[in-house]
Structure 1
Amino acid sequence: MRGDLTDAEWEIIQGLLPSERGRCVRPAKSNRLFLNGMLYVLRTGCPWRDMHERYGKWNSVYVRFRRWAEQGVWDALLETLVDLGLTDDWQHMIDSTIIRAHSQAAGAKRGTHKEGFGQSCGGFTSKIHARSDGQGRPLAFALTGGEVSDYSGADSLIDIPVTTPHCFLADKGYDSDRLREKQLFRGILPVIPPRSNRKKPIPYNLQHYKDRHCIERMFNKLKRFRRIATRYDKTRKSFLAFLHLAAVKLWLPSFVNKT
């Protein structure tokens, strides 16, 4: 079915997923079959109960998805692909995008604020903060409420353990003396346009800054997955798991094209 993993893609990630052990009367289903079911839900945005029956019982696929999310499998999978495939260390980028939350996403037990929701005039929203390499491939994510400033979600992304780039691109929403000093201390050149209220504007390389369109294109690709374009998940963990799964799907062509 369209959107399923190809043989080449499965060859790359099959060894990175935990093995599943079933009971003698109910053997565990294939990881590949269940992963394709998760990708189907991710791509179409359908409820788990409406997952295509060719992937098995929806509840079994959902339970494995949630168990892997609790175990940190999706985070580790993305980190491994980044470590293996990150060769573009010339410039990294950071940006954020706001997504609308479906009415079904409200009502988490811990409260909407703790699950990365923000209140706006149009309802609940969440903001995805992301860091990418120079080719627009996602490196890491952070999730906050939609009303949170871009700058507030930057620290966790700046501190991720990846190769130190030469340049760091961001829009004027990230313009602050502290962030600039933090980058310069690490030997990274910040390419950030100054805010309009700065008394002494700081010069920046406009030619380098034009490459920031790569991270905008990355967000566009992520939002092709309907489960990302609209948030249906109540919990932060489930939504971030889908986000990491979508990022893995964006990374796989980089490895397939090498072979």
Structure 2
Amino acid sequence: MGRGDLSDAECELIGPLLPPERGRWARPAGDNRRFLNGMLHVLRVGCPWRDMHERYGKWNSVYVRFRRWAEQGVWDALLQTLVELGLTDDWQHTIDSTSVRGHVSAAGGKGGLVRTLLVDHAAALRAKNHARCDNQGLPLGFILTGGEASDYTAAEPLMEIPVAAPKALLADKGYDGDRFRESLLIRGILPIIPARSNRKVPEHPDYRRYRNRNRVERMFGKLKQQRRIATRYGKTILSFESFLNLAAPPYG
């Protein structure tokens, strides 16, 4: 077993959530565990699919299964199911964003940032990954935008991620806005957000609780240990978001 491959305990948790594969043209289907380990290898080391280690089988077979599962929504469902299993801490959630530098060949391609989000090539190479995490720093969902997008524009989409509502939401002053604060209070969520410097009547949050906001920063740091997350090599949004969802569960 290679470094970063799934353990038996992790396979017992993840295995039933993956779709069964049937052989095509009278050939037996490969083992899902071996294929998933190959995907995790590419995620971790950031290599092209063609350079995937041979112990995981043919690179094209692993890539085709990864892409097929992405188009079927398997990776989105995997993260959502793990969240629904009650593995998260919903006392308070945190939202934030981080910049992701794109590889020089990642801006083009059908379904890429340039054509899908209607941003220019410079913004596409400086993509932003907006994320929401629980009180323990476990990812709950992601929103991908161009690098010039404001954090505030992704605040409501992040709160619409179908997970349990927390008691409080932690965010930095980039998310300070009357409309967003009112939206949180209507949902029964206490906003713990410092005020912008230009606010006439500044809000004073509980700064002792606000110190826990560093958990989202640590989450980004852990995710970026996977080189396919630290640098966006994929040409399409679907591929990068699929790798994000693959990196989010507590394995690897």
Whether these two folds match at TM > 0.5 is yes
TM-score scaled by length of structure 2? 0.95
Deviations 1:151-174, CA, capped at 9 Å, x for gaps: 111111101222221110000000
Q: How far apart, in 2, do the equivalents of 1:111 and 1:165 lie?
A: 33
Q: How far apart, in 2, do the equivalents of 1:210 and 1:156 lie?
A: 24
TM-score scaled by length of structure 1? 0.92
Deviations 1:7-41, CA, capped at 9 Å, x for gaps: 11001111100000013532110000000000000
Shift of 1:118: 5.4
Structure 1 range deviating more: 60-69 or 150-159: 150-159
In structure 1, what is the equivalent of residue 7 of structure 2? Answer: 6
In structure 1, what is the equivalent of residue 89 of structure 2? Answer: 88
In structure 1, what is the equivalent of residue 171 of structure 2? Answer: 170
CA RMSD of aligned residues (A): 1.8
Instruction: Give ranges in structure 2 of 5+ residues lacking alignment.
Output: none
Shift of 1:119: 5.1
Q: How far apart, in 1, do the equivalents of 2:106 and 2:46 lie?
A: 13
In structure 2, what is the equivalent of residue 232 of structure 1? Answer: 233
In structure 2, what is the equivalent of residue 135 of structure 1? Answer: 136
Does the CA contact (< 8 Å) of 1:92 and 1:167 recur in 2? yes
Does the CA contact (< 8 Å) of 1:117 and 1:125 recur in 2? no
Alignment of 1:81-230 (within 5 A): 81-110=82-111, 112-115=113-116, 124-230=125-231
Deviations 1:144-197, CA, capped at 9 Å, x for gaps: 001100011111110122222111000000001010000001111000001111
Shift of 1:121: 6.7
Does the CA contact (< 8 Å) of 1:119 and 1:147 recur in 2? no
Does the CA contact (< 8 Å) of 2:107 and 2:124 recur in 1? no
Does the CA contact (< 8 Å) of 2:88 and 2:136 recur in 1? no
Equivalent residue pairs, number: 251
Q: How far apart, in 2, do the equivalents of 1:181 and 1:101 lie?
A: 35
Q: How far apart, in 2, do the equivalents of 1:34 and 1:111 lie?
A: 25
In structure 2, what is the equivalent of residue 242 of structure 1? Answer: 243
Q: How far apart, in 2, do the equivalents of 1:210 and 1:120 lie?
A: 36
In structure 2, what is the equivalent of residue 257 of structure 1? Answer: none
Q: How far apart, in 1, do the equivalents of 2:112 and 2:142 lie?
A: 21
Structure 1 range deviating more: 110-119 or 183-192: 110-119
Q: How far apart, in 1, do the equivalents of 2:119 and 2:174 lie?
A: 19
Does the CA contact (< 8 Å) of 2:112 and 2:237 recur in 1? no
Q: Which amino acid aligns with 1:153?
A: A
In structure 1, what is the equivalent of residue 32 of structure 2? Answer: 31
Pair 1:64-2:46 in alignment: no
Q: Which amino acid aligns with 1:129?
A: H
Give 4+ residue runs of structure 1 displaced > 6 Å after superposition. Answer: 120-123
Does the CA contact (< 8 Å) of 1:119 and 1:146 recur in 2? no
Question: Equivalent residue of 1:196, what SS?
Answer: coil
